[in-house]
Chain A
Amino acid sequence: MSSEKRTADDLYQEASAAYRGAIGRVARAFEMDTDKRRDLLQEIHFALWRSFETFEGRCSLLTWVYRVAHHTATAHVIREHRAKLHTLVTLEDIENTSDRTDHRRDSEQRIALERLMGLIHRLRPIDRQLMLLYLEELDGASIAEITGLSAGHVRTQIHKIKTILARRFHKGEDHE
């Protein structure tokens, strides 16, 4: 029992050290308010620690950590922002709307990051997850494993994400 406990603790420490940055970015993508974000981050860490009781290596550590982080963050969004859920949009909606921002003014990275964050916060939970996993540079197979979407669907969605990001973030570079 005690060796099992140690293993779970070791796994937690290994995972939290390896994916601390990624977990922090998930929290930022799902909660704008600083105090609530700190709570969400803490919740993700608690969930991760508890989850290793049942981790049997049936999937990679990366898949496990991302699932825990995304499940916790999705539950948080549904719980905390229930009244505003209908204002969240899909990747298709974003793809079909024009971005009226003046790209010339967005040369500074900070502003570009704020715009990216604004775009992410408008997405529905499942679309947001796809966007985040793409931004974390995970390959299609890993994204399909984490989300449970078919490989074909993941390919289509990634194509949409690339189009959206290219239109909104590379246009500015072209102008300059």
Chain B
Amino acid sequence: MNNASPNDPRHLWQAQETEKMTIQPQQIPEKIQRLHKRGRVTNAFLAAVFGLIGIYYAFQVGEAPDLLRAIGCALISLGNFYWTYLAVTAIRSSRLPVLAPDEPLRTSVQFYRQILEETFQGVRGGNRRAMRGAVAIVIGVAILIIQPKESVQNATAEVALKAFVQNLGVPLWLIAWLPFLVIVASWAALRCYGRIVSTKWITHEIERVDQMS
């Protein structure tokens, strides 16, 4: 490789302009605190938002015209209260994204493998704790969507569609619950697909890293 060439990738790479950052050691603890605070503010904001939604739907339970709608509101409220709890827990135990002091004792391959394994566990677990809240909320929202507060006048297209589906011999209960099933099934399918793609990639990458080292 010709190092003298101005188009030599190594020359180009080293000659590029980069952001100049100079931090005095005395400033670092204060800056770390600021970074920590930023993470806490985000979680506090999320806790407030989820809490307010939870309270709103808790009130809606009492005002629901029928039992199914009350169940829908209760599920949304519970899901949001659970997420509020998670956000509050995260405020307390928020971990800085800064490496542990002894991490540089590991080589890049060891560190990469460890972080891949941690990510794999996270993906495989499907962020179970956050999922618990999401399941309740999705089911609650689906119930509210198929149970409008006031009866909606059937449009011609809707009547025609219902007649068409009935002619196919599909039972009535299935037609009534179809939107609910479609919402839940699409959501579950998307999550499963994302999980499969991620786990497959991570497993393959762990095997490759093992072969490299």
- Chain A residues near B (Cβ < 8 Å): 8-9, 12-13, 16, 20-21, 23-25, 27-28, 37-38, 41-43, 45-47, 49-55, 58, 64, 67-68, 70-72, 74-76, 78-79, 82-83, 85-86, 90, 107, 109, 112-113, 116, 124-126, 129, 134-137, 145-150, 153, 162, 165-166, 169-170, 172-173
- Report yes or no: A28 in contact with B25, Cβ–Cβ below 8 A: no
Number of residues in B with C-beta < 8 Å to the partner? 54
How far is it, in angstroms, between the C-alpha of A55 and the C-alpha of B122 when the chains are bound?
31
Majority secondary structure of chain A interface residues (helix, strand, loop or mixed): helix
Whether A64 lies near B104 (C-beta < 8 A) is yes
Contacts A54-B105, A147-B107 given: A42-B99 contact, CB under 8 Å? no
Q: Check A162 against B1 for contact (C-beta < 8 Å).
A: yes
Whether A67 contacts B107 by the Cβ 8 Å rule is yes
Asked if A137 contacts B10 (CB within 8 A), the reply is yes
Checking A28, A67, A86, A153 against B201 with a beta-carbon cut-off of 8 angstroms, the contacting residue is A86
B108 touches A126 (CB 8 A): yes
By the criterion CB–CB under 8 Å, are A9 and B25 in contact? yes
Contact with A along B96-112 (1 / 0, CB 8 A): 11110111111111111
Partner of B99, one of A47, A85, A145, A169: A47
Q: How far is the CA of A134 from the CA of B1 in the complex (A)?
A: 12
Judged by DSSP, the binding face of B is helix
B-side residues, CB < 8 A to A, are: 1-2, 5-10, 12-14, 16, 18-23, 25-26, 28, 31-32, 35, 96-99, 101-112, 115-116, 119, 194, 197-198, 200-202, 205, 208-209, 212-213
Q: Tell me the complex Cα distance, A107–B6, Å.
A: 10
Which residue of A47, A68, A82, A146 is within 8 Å of B119 (Cβ)? A82
> In the assembly, what is the distance between CA of A165 and CA of B13, in Å?
12
Taking A9-B25, A45-B23, A109-B12 as contacts, is the C-beta distance between A169 and B7 under 8 angstroms?
Answer: yes
What are the 9 tightest A-B residue pairs by CB atom distance, in nearest-first order?
A148-B107, A24-B18, A9-B25, A135-B13, A148-B109, A86-B201, A47-B99, A67-B104, A147-B108
A71 touches B111 (CB 8 A): yes
Please determine whether B198 and A85 come into contact, CB atoms closer than 8 angstroms: yes
Q: How far is the CA of A124 from the CA of B200 in the complex (A)?
A: 15
Across-interface contacts of A135 in B (CB, < 8 A):
9-10, 13-14
Per the bound structure, the CA–CA distance linking A21 and B12 in Å amounts to 13
The answer to whether B7 touches A46, judged by C-beta atoms less than 8 angstroms apart, is no
Interfacial chain A residues near B98, Cβ < 8 Å: 43, 46-47, 50, 72
CB contact between A136 and one of B14, B21, B201 (< 8 Å): that residue:
B14
